[in-house]
């Protein structure tokens, strides 16, 4: 991320102006497109807002930008020597299309994290580097032959990985399956995308947990689906609500995360598990079970898929939350007819996934180092969770409430004061800490998800102290 040089004799506002000119001329900001807000640029560049105001004034004086009263600063039309040359209005193309952009909160968080490495990250649902099996993966990579004849996996996934996953799922999650019923994806989100695009149609109604990670994904709206709330309490979802939604809205699919639910950390009550499976079987409804966090805890409940005698459940898993996110390995376990349909769609998208990360994952899952890594991961996650809980109780006593999850990566917190999510997020980013507002997941304002897996252990106290300052400044 570019930043102005404070040691340069050139004033900061002129450095910023020249930098933006280069980006405009280079086509990053074509004519008619809006420039970032003054406040956002000031935060990204680490300068006062008045400096950005001066930079924008300099751009206007040279004809690069125009100001629209009550709106943003936009890039002005270029003046070419050949009057017949016209630049497409790229911003209008970017604003059209059927695939919707990420929600504004997500874009704001990601842009700030990408632009400022000093921000302490309680927002990303990933493991920190010290929790990844980097030495084990590195050893596998050094001894891995490159198979040039097998550059692609054929669509369904690298066969040795699918076999390894079938053994892994039976050993660790009591799911009996075969390699023919496993599809390798680039992660849980691609799995969900394939399901929404291939097994549902625009206008279909689906039941989605609320709050839920899936509510932060614009892909459901892009697919034209109607989302209906399946409320989550301390015992998970209520199966009776499924029956009501089916009666009132003819829902066609149920999306759930029963173990260490994202974002709340709840575990679906055993009695409700049985009733949910019975209800889905009676109504003929497929269940999409997302299960990324079960291996993060000892004695995690079995997945629904393991107890599903009627084969109503499509099971989604991911390597990212238990090992190396950079490998981008996820999977779907489903009936063969569904796997064939999804494989055909994925083949149209990318002709198949690279076999190299799949080779690495297959070898690691089957190695003697896998079980010690999982045990070490569980211990470190518990340690970080407790560090975060202690910091919250010390810095925000009585102002924030939460329950300790037994697994997963997140603390789900309620702020016991009236709070505007947008203002709090802006304030927190300004203080150098990022979190995810609960409203992104469909919760009421004043909730937040804090990830303890992403920051280093030594960053947690400082991050919570910064967050406490932001909360108090907004609450006052």
Q: Categorize the per-residue pLDDT at 388 as very low, low, confident or very high, splitting at 50, 70 and 90.
A: very high
pLDDT value of residue 441: 93
C-beta of residue 75 within 8 angstroms of C-beta of residue 30? yes
Least-confidence region, from 81-95, 167-181, 281-295:
81-95
Whether the per-residue pLDDT at 274 is higher than 80: the answer is yes
pLDDT of res. 25: 81
CA distances from 440 to 126, 214, 421, 437, 462 (A): 18, 10, 9, 6, 25
8 A C-beta contact, residue 307 and residue 258: no
Please provide the average confidence, as pLDDT, over all residues in the chain.
Answer: 89
In the chain, % helix, strand, coil (3-state, to 5) comes to 45, 15, 40
In this prediction, residue 87 carries a pLDDT of 61
Residue range(s) occupied by CATH 3.40.640.10 in the chain: 147-367
- Judged by phi (left if over 0) then psi (alpha if -120 to 50, else beta), residue 80 lies in beta
Let me know how long the chain is. 476
pTM greater than 0.85 (yes/no)? no
Does CATH place domain 12-96 in 1.10.10.10?
A: yes
Looking at domain 106-131+372-475, its CATH architecture is Alpha-Beta Complex (3.90)
pLDDT 10s digits, 155-173: 899 999 999 999 999 999 9
Provide the β-strand partners of residue 209.
230
pLDDT greater than 90 at residue 455: yes
Tens of pLDDT, residues 221-266 = 999 999 999 999 999 999 999 999 999 999 999 999 999 999 999 9
Q: Which fold has domain 147-367?
A: 3.40.640
pLDDT of 81 reads: 43
How many whole angstroms separate alpha carbon 253 and alpha carbon 272? 18
Where in the chain do CATH 3.90.1150.10 domains reside? 106-131+372-475
For residue 84, what are the contacts with CB-CB under 8 A and spacing of at least 6?
A: none
The 8-class DSSP code of residue 354 comes to B
Residue 410: name the closest of 432, 430, 439, 381 by CA: 381
pLDDT exceeds 90 at position 349 = no
Across the beta sheet with 182-185, the strand order is 182-185, 330-333, 313-318, 287-290, 253-256, 205-210, 226-233, 236-237
3-state secondary structure of 125: coil
Distance linking the first and last C-alpha atoms of the chain: 34
| Percentage of the chain exceeding pLDDT 90 | 59
Residue 405 has pLDDT above 90, yes or no: yes
Q: In the structure, how many helices (H) and strands (E) does the chain have?
A: 17, 16
Sign of the torsion formed by the C-alpha atoms of 132, 133, 139 and 141: negative
313-318 and 330-333 strand pairing: antiparallel
Query: Do the beta carbons of residue 66 and residue 33 sit within 8 Å?
Result: no
Q: Residue 457, preceding bond cis, omega within 30 degrees?
A: no
Of 60-74, 108-122, 128-142, 291-305, the least confident: 60-74
Residue ranges, comma separated, of all CATH 1.10.10.10 domains in the chain are 12-96
- For the chain, the maximum distance between any two Cα atoms, rounded to a whole number of angstroms, is 75
Q: Is the pLDDT of residue 7 over 80?
A: yes
Model confidence at 83: pLDDT above 60: no
The tens digit of pLDDT for each residue in 28-60 reads 888 888 888 888 888 888 888 889 889 888 888
């Amino acid at each position: 991320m570019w930043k102005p040089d404070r040691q340069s004799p050139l004033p900061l506002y002129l450095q910023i102006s020249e930098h933006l000119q280069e980006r405009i001329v280079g086509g990053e900001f074509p004519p008619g497109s809006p420039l970032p807000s003054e406040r956002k640029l000031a935060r990204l560049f680490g300068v006062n807002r008045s400096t950005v105001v001066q930079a924008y004034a300099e751009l206007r004086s040279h004809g690069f930008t125009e100001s629209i009263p009550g709106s943003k600063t936009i890039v002005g039309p270029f003046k070419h020597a050949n009057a017949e040359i016209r630049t497409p209005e790229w911003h209008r193309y970017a604003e059209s299309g059927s695939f919707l952009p990420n929600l504004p909160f997500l874009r704001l968080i990601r842009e700030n994290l990408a632009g400022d490495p000093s921000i302490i990250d309680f927002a990303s649902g990933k493991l920190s580097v010290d929790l990844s099996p980097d030495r084990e993966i590195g050893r596998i990579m050094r001894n891995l032959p490159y198979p040039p004849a097998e550059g692609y996996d054929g669509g369904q996934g690298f066969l040795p990985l699918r076999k390894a996953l079938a053994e892994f799922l039976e050993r660790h999650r009591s799911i009996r399956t075969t390699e023919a019923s496993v599809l390798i994806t680039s992660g849980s989100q691609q799995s969900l995308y394939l399901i929404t695009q291939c097994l549902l149609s625009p206008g279909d109604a689906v039941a989605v947990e609320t709050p839920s990670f899936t509510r932060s994904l614009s892909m459901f709206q892009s697919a034209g689906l109607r989302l209906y709330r399946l409320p989550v309490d301390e015992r998970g979802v209520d199966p009776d609500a499924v029956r009501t939604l089916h009666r009132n809205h003819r829902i066609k699919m149920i999306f759930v995360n029963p173990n260490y639910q994202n974002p709340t950390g709840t575990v679906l009550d055993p009695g409700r598990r049985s009733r949910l499976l019975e209800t889905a079987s009676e109504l003929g409804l497929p269940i999409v079970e997302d299960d990324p966090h079960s291996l993060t805890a000892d004695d995690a409940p079995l997945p629904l898929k393991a107890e599903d005698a009627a084969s109503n459940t499509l099971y989604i898993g991911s390597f990212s939350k238990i090992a190396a996110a950079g490998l981008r390995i996820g999977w779907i376990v489903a009936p063969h007819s569904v796997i064939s349909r999804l494989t055909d769609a994925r083949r149209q998208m990318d002709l198949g996934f690279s076999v190299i990360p799949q080779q690495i994952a297959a070898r690691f899952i089957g190695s003697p180092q896998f079980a010690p890594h999982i045990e070490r991961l569980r211990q470190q996650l518990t340690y970080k969770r407790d560090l975060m809980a202690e910091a919250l109780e010390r810095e925000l006593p009585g102002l924030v409430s939460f329950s300790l999850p037994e697994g997963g990566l997140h603390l789900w917190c309620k702020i016991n004061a009236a709070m505007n999510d947008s203002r709090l997020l802006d304030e927190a980013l300004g203080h150098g800490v990022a979190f995810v507002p609960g409203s992104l997941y469909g919760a009421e304002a004043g909730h937040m998800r804090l990830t303890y897996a992403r920051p280093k252990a030594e960053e947690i106290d400082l991050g919570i102290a910064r967050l406490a300052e932001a909360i108090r400044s907004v609450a006052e």
